[in-house]
Amino acid sequence: MTDHKQHNDAKMRTTLTVDDELLQLLREEAARTRRSLREVLNERLRLGFSAAQRARQRSKFKVEVFDTKGFAPGVDQGKLNQLFDTLEAEDAGR
């Protein structure tokens, strides 16, 4: 795939190697939307870069750790989901 672009009053040509399946998707989108392959490729690249930038700007997920030593004797910490389900069912029954 070759692209021509104005750059400081001179044309610049760039050759890209695009995977066959991606090129086919680009061609299908170009045909479907009646746009040039170049327009579709540039749009998709912009979308990809925008998504990557948004992902970098999101705050990192943080897990807060707390001490679980305060559980009552006999509570199996590996079965807390089961305990929650039991308590929720009892609460719904009231």
32 in a structural domain: yes
89 in a structural domain: no
34 in a structural domain: yes
**Is the confidence at residue 23, as pLDDT, over 90?**
yes
Structural domain total, the chain:
1
pLDDT digits (tens, 9 = 90+) for 26-82: 999 999 999 999 999 999 999 999 998 888 877 777 788 877 677 777 777 788 888
Q: pLDDT at position 30, please?
A: 97
Q: pTM for this one? A: 0.49
**Is the confidence at residue 7, as pLDDT, over 60?**
no
* Under 8 Å between Cβ of 38 and 3: yes
Residue 8: what are its φ and ψ, rounded to 5°? 50, 50
What is the DSSP secondary structure assignment for residue 78, as one 8-state letter?
Answer: G
Q: pLDDT at position 55, please?
A: 83
Burial 38-61 (b: 16+ CB within 10 A, else e): eebbeeeeeeeeeeeeeeeeeeee
User: What angle do the packed helices 20-33 and 37-57 form, to 10 degrees?
Assistant: 110
User: Domain range for residue 39?
Assistant: 2-51
Element (H, E) at 48: helix 37-57
